[in-house]
């Protein structure tokens, strides 16, 4: 994990986190499929790419629960033949990946690698590890065109109408589109310039109806025997044959992610449509559907996570809102959507062009400590807005993936209504229905202590090869002043500093060589300019003998 030092804090901007290959990656496959040469190639490719561990089961995926729990994966890839992927299996995957520890939330980003045949599955895990969504095609107007570099958004309800968003940020409305969009949309996909295709409206496991709510004068996209194709209102079928990697997103479609046979839309889009990531409902989509609105929120509206990460974070928001009886949350969505593709594929919005700013900026800072580290997760509003659940397609609660797994979590402070911190993410409940907008520049944060798994040894005990030094403050908490005490095991140069929660230096004792033994230093709550500091949490860092330890100071108001 790449760390950027800022004073005592390690400022970790998640958008620039290290590559996914360093994270534990689990491949789960039925043992009878693994012995098949072509499917074994899929597994071998993933093992080579991610240094993955392989977990096999005989009849039920739940057989690997204990092993997965002990492995604590960041990603779980289920490798399956498409005709074995049922809606009940998708529900099992959701539940299994939540049951790797004791909380109700998800424990791993997951995806199902499949295809019309094994060659499709091999292709999904053999291409580039990254691709960027620059050009979006919408078979619906519900595609948030101003949040992507360039978009053509067509209307499912109004003939001839569409919008075009250009790289320079301009948007134009046009009325010269065809009455039946079937051939037009097929030609756009076949041009191999589309990075994401979004659909909505009536659909089934093997079709998408272009017009909504009735069929009207438009056609369908259909799938059969590995081929996805356009079926115009009049005229011959037009095959879709595209090879460039893309996301297919059945935003508001019923059952379009459900695989009934090898002729279903998902395996056919993977086979001939170039879908490297395919997301759709395996249930009937309804007016309160939640999951897909949450996915696009974390992908393009309020954060720029990868598509699989956004899919994961959206579900954690749904679980939170179900748990707290938030109006409009749709419990059937909890296990009702599927992601086909490599869960570690770094597919995210391109930085090219001009588009609307994200709702907020998120930061994670880490102050290393002796036994535990102190984490601060902060969100800062970029524009006025509602960072919480307020509609089917609205924003969601700010939820931040942590840069590495943590354990023994203790929430010390938050100015949110509520903060949920798990081993892999932090959720801030900062806006509820009826509240006014949060304003640009406003911040919300949660501060918690935890042990980082990366620095934990057997049984969760942190490795500690550093020279023995100790640090404490009495009293703590305090309002008038405190005495900072520390012990040195040898004579050495000592640096004693105090920082605020943002890693900014507040006060420093001049460096000096000090003798072995017990020392103390008074702090009168004044900064380097002689100004009394406000109440809050501060961190005292003792750097000595080639190492540094930190103690938390709580200043009462």
Helix (H, G, I), strand (E, B) or coil at 58: coil
pLDDT value at position 454? Answer: 55
DSSP state of 137: E
pLDDT score recorded for residue 455 = 45
Confidence of residue 476 (pLDDT cuts 50, 70, 90): confident
Q: Please compute the mean of the pLDDT values over residues 158-186 and round it to a whole number.
A: 96
What is the rounded CA–CA span in Å between residue 201 and residue 214? 10
- Picking from 406, 423, 456, the residue at the C-terminal end of a domain is 456
293 and 434 housed in the same domain: no
- 3 state DSSP class of 333: helix
Average pLDDT over residues 294-318: 96
Residue 451 has pLDDT above 80, yes or no: yes
| Cα gap 503→497, rounded to integer Å | 11
The answer to whether residues 45 and 27 touch, using CB atoms and an 8 Å cutoff, is: no
Structure tokens at 497: 């500093």
What does the pLDDT average to over 385-389? 93
Q: What is the mean pLDDT of the chain?
A: 88
Q: 137 with 145: CB under 8 angstroms?
A: no
Checking if the pLDDT of 461 tops 80, the result is no
Q: Is the pLDDT of residue 280 over 70?
A: yes
Please state, in angstroms and rounded to a whole number, the distance separating the CA atoms of residues 349 and 227. 28
With the C-alpha atoms ordered 317, 441, 401, 197, is the resulting torsion angle positive or negative? positive
Looking at the fold, whether 292 and 440 belong to one and the same domain comes out as: no
Residue 22 pLDDT grade (very low, low, confident, very high; cuts 50, 70, 90): low
Asked if pLDDT for residue 447 goes beyond 50, the answer is: yes
Instruction: Report how far residue 554's alpha carbon sits from residue 80's, in angstroms, rounded to the nearest whole number.
Output: 53
Contact present, 77 and 27 (Cβ < 8 Å): yes
Parallel, antiparallel, or unpaired for β 135-138 and 196-201?
parallel
Global pTM exceeds 0.85: no
How many structural domains comprise the chain? 3
In our burial notation (b when 16+ CB lie closer than 10 A, e otherwise), range 95-107 reads ebbbbbeeeebbb
User: Which H or E element spans position 511?
Assistant: strand 505-514
Closest CA to 88 of 240, 203, 258: 258
pLDDT in tens, 349-380: 998 999 999 999 998 888 887 788 889 999 99
Q: 497: domain range?
A: 469-555
For residue 281, what pLDDT is reported?
97
Same domain (yes/no): 412, 309: no
> What percent of the chain has pLDDT above 70?
93
More confident residue, 556 or 149: 149
Q: Name the domain boundary from 349, 368, 399.
A: 349
What does the pLDDT read at residue 286? Answer: 84
d(CA 372, CA 131): 37
Q: In angstroms, rounded to a whole number, what is the distance separating the alpha carbons of residues 6 and 15?
A: 17
Q: Phi first, then psi: what are they for 249, rounded to 5°? A: -125, 105
Tell me whether residue 411 is in a domain. yes
The alpha-carbon radius of gyration of the chain (Å, integer) is: 26
Q: For residues 390 and 3, which has the higher predicted lDDT (pLDDT)?
A: 390
pLDDT range class, residue 198, cuts 50, 70, 90: very high
pLDDT of residue 137 exceeding 60, the answer is yes
Same domain, 254 and 198: yes
Q: Which of 456, 489, 504 is the last residue of a domain?
A: 456
Q: Is residue 54 part of a domain?
A: no
């Amino acid at each position: 994990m790449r760390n950027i030092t800022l004073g005592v804090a390690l400022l970790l901007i998640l958008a620039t986190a290290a590559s996914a290959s360093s994270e534990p990656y689990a491949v789960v496959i039925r043992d009878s499929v693994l012995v098949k040469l072509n499917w074994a190639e899929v597994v071998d490719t993933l093992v080579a790419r991610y240094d993955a561990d392989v977990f096999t089961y005989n009849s039920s995926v739940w057989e690997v629960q204990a092993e997965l729990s002990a492995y604590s994966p960041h990603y779980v890839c289920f490798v399956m033949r498409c005709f074995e992927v049922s809606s009940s299996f998708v529900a099992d995957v959701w539940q299994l990946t939540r049951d790797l520890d004791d909380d109700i939330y998800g424990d791993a980003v997951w995806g199902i690698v499949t295809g019309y045949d094994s060659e499709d599955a091999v292709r999904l895990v053999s291409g580039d590890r990254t691709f960027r969504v620059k050009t979006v095609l919408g078979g619906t107007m519900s595609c948030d065109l101003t949040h992507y570099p360039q978009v053509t958004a067509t209307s499912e309800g109004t003939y001839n109408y569409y919008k075009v968003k250009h790289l320079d940020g301009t948007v134009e409305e046009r009325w010269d589109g065809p009455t039946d969009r079937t051939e037009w949309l097929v030609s756009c996909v076949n041009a191999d310039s589309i990075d994401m295709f979004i659909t909505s409206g009536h659909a089934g496991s093997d079709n998408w109806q272009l017009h909504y709510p009735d069929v009207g004068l438009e056609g369908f996209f259909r799938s059969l025997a590995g081929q996805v194709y356009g079926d115009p209102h009049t005229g011959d079928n037009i095959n879709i044959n595209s090879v460039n990697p893309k996301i297919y997103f059945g935003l508001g479609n019923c059952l379009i992610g459900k695989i009934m046979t090898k002729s279903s839309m998902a395996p056919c889009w993977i086979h001939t449509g170039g879908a490297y990531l395919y997301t759709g409902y395996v249930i009937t989509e309804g007016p309160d559907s939640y999951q897909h609105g949450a996915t696009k929120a974390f992908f393009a509206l309020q954060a720029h996570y990868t598509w699989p990460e956004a899919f994961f974070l959206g579900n954690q928001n749904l679980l939170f809102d179900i748990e707290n009886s938030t109006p409009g949350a749709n419990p059937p969505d909890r296990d009702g959507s599927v992601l086909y593709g490599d869960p570690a594929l770094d597919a995210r919005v391109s930085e090219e062009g001009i588009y609307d700013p994200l709702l907020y900026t998120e930061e994670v800072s880490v102050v290393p400590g002796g036994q535990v580290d102190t984490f601060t997760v902060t969100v800062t509003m970029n524009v006025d807005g509602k960072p919480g659940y307020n509609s089917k397609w609205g924003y969601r609660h700010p939820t931040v993936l942590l840069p590495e797994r943590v354990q023994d979590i203790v929430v010390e402070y938050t100015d949110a209504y509520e903060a949920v911190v798990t081993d892999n993410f932090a959720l801030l409940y900062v806006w509820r229905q009826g509240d006014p907008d949060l304003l640009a520049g406003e911040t919300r944060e949660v501060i918690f202590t935890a042990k980082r798994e990366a620095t934990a040894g057997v049984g969760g005990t942190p490795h500690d090869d550093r020279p023995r030094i100790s640090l404490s403050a009495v009293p703590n908490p305090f309002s008038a002043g405190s005495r900072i005490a520390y012990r040195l095991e040898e004579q050495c140069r000592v640096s004693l500093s105090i920082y605020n929660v943002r890693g900014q230096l507040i006060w420093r004792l001049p460096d000096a060589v000090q003798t072995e033994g017990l020392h103390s230093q008074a702090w009168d709550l004044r900064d380097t300019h002689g100004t009394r500091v406000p109440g809050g949490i501060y961190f005292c860092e003792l750097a000595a003998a080639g190492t540094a330890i930190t103690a938390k100071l709580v200043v009462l108001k």
